[in-house]
Structure 1
Amino acid sequence: MKGKVIFIGAGPGDPDLITVKGRKVIEEADVIIYAGSLVNKDVLCPARDDCEIHNSAYLNLDETDEIITKAVNEGKLVARVHTGDPSIYGAIAEQIRELKKHDIEYEIIPGVSSLFGTASVLEAELTLPEISQSVIITRPEGRTPKPAGESIASFSKHHATMCIFLGIGMIDKVVDELLEGYEETTPVAVVKKATWPDQQIIRGTLKDIAEKVKDANITKTAMIVVGDVLDPGDFNASKLYDKNFKHEYR
């Protein structure tokens, strides 16, 4: 009998932020492959003593595929554990493509994205009435190319809330692109390892955030959030709880 692969979003760092469904799979798995450079290892604590555990930080796609195929052909349950939610920069599509080649059954369990972990520790609502009702999720172009028209500079002209993954190592370039559309006074927050015990929060504006990040020596595993929602001052309340507004969603 063939086994199965279940992709699990482990959440942003705090092991209690994994879903109940995800934790149950970790408890039951015969084999776990986890993104060791990003996933808090405490997430794996419920695993069985006889569970075979691999750190994918030391594996390429072919090696991961080999481990999965062997386990599934032996009828085993494989938990493929990713950081945050695997649908955002999780590289699961290429893994699923290989599973389909081998006719391997799979499932995806969503997780709490580091984006939302970041918003929570910033105590921020990313969509405030009349300030920003859109959130742009993006990354700068690095070794992974981006489609034409998806530059940070072009997105900045919308003045929406922007959440930038994988950009802290090129903070100067990111700021230069953001200034194509936003003002120098636009609030910015950088959060390193949101929800981890050693998380760091740096606040500033586009004028000074790059220098502050360098002074704090933050070079990886950090989210950049840009927009007036971070320091809105006074703002109009939404219609959701307006006593004069009737609708079915309250």
Structure 2
Amino acid sequence: MVCFIGAGPGDPELITVKGQKLIKEADVIIYAGSLVNPEVIKDAKKDALIYNSADMTLEEVLHIMKDAEQNKKKVARVHTGDPSIYGAIREQMDALDTIGISYEVVPGVSSFVAAAAALKKEFTLPGVAQTVILTRLEGRTAVPEGERLGSLARHGASMCIFLSVGMMDKVVEELLEGYEENTPVAVIYRASWPDEKVVSGTLKDISEKVKKAGITKTAQIVVGDFLGNRYELSKLYDKSFSHEFRSAKE
């Protein structure tokens, strides 16, 4: 049995209880060492076999999984954040389907929500934005033409941009196709880690600020008017608004 586990954004306490339990029970642990905090797997069994997948190929990872299955061992495949977002787990799951190995997926806390927590902001403010776009700038991995950053920016939604801070000038250039240059932006380096760093600004000045901060990787870019302070109050707690659990009050 293989368990794909979202390790969370960095803070070892942000892994789910279920994910931590499965890691403690695992006979074999394969973790994305370039991103996953080693503290997440510190409670592994003393005799657990631990592999860092940072320098492994897909075939090597699958070989370990297949060998563990043949020896009736439990495998914890530990990914950073939530494995469904830029986790490259589909190709692993499809391969396991082909060779007949069962698996499950345990969700985790993504860096985009850890970034919102660091900023103490809400992505979906009434009257400002009710849509959150998760995306990335095209790099060595292409994006479909309809998902270009510039095209998505035209929606004016709250946006979270992964894997792109090393190309900040290009990110800003494309975002300006839809957002105004005074739109607020924040870059959160290693959200929830001890060395977390937040750089805030607007599309006009964020690129220079990020360069001065020396941030070139492992950062989340968030952009949109949700970072501002103007919004409508929620209907959920409005005394004049009734719903299934509460009648309107005068």
Range of TM-score over shorter length: over 0.9
Alignment-derived partner of residue 114 in structure 2:
117
Deviation, 1:249, is 6.1
TM-score normalised per structure 2:
0.97
Give 3-state SS (helix, strand or coil) of 1:149's partner.
Answer: helix
Q: Which runs of 4+ in 1 moved over 4 A?
A: none
Which of residues 185, 196, 200 in structure 2 aligns to 1:199? 196
1:162-199 CA distance string (max 9 Å, x none): 10000101101010000001000000000010000000
Alignment-derived partner of residue 247 in structure 1:
243
1:43-89 CA distance string (max 9 Å, x none): 00111110000000010101101111101111000000000000000
Deviation, 1:148, is 1.9
Tell me the amino acid that sits aligned with residue 237 of structure 2: Y
Map 1:121-132 → 2, pairs under 5 A:
121-132=118-129
Which of residues 194, 218, 233 in structure 2 aligns to 1:237? 233
Deviation, 1:244, is 1.4
Q: Which runs of 5+ in 1 are unaligned?
A: none
Alignment-derived partner of residue 12 in structure 1:
9
Give 3-state SS (helix, strand or coil) of 1:129's partner.
Answer: coil
Which of residues 142, 148, 152 in structure 2 aligns to 1:151? 148
Cα distance in 2 for partners of 1:52, 1:118 equals 33
Q: Which runs of 5+ in 2 are unaligned?
A: none
Cα distance in 2 for partners of 1:164, 1:234 equals 23
Alignment-derived partner of residue 88 in structure 2:
91
Q: How many residues align?
A: 246
Alignment-derived partner of residue 181 in structure 1:
178
Kindly report the root-mean-square deviation, in angstroms, between the aligned alpha carbons of the 2 structures: 0.9
Tell me the amino acid that sits aligned with residue 70 of structure 1: D
TM-score normalised per structure 1:
0.97
Identity %: 61
Cα distance in 1 for partners of 2:230, 2:171 equals 29
Cα distance in 2 for partners of 1:9, 1:140 equals 23
Cα distance in 2 for partners of 1:152, 1:249 equals 41
Map 1:30-45 → 2, pairs under 5 A:
30-45=27-42
1:19-38 CA distance string (max 9 Å, x none): 00000000100000000000
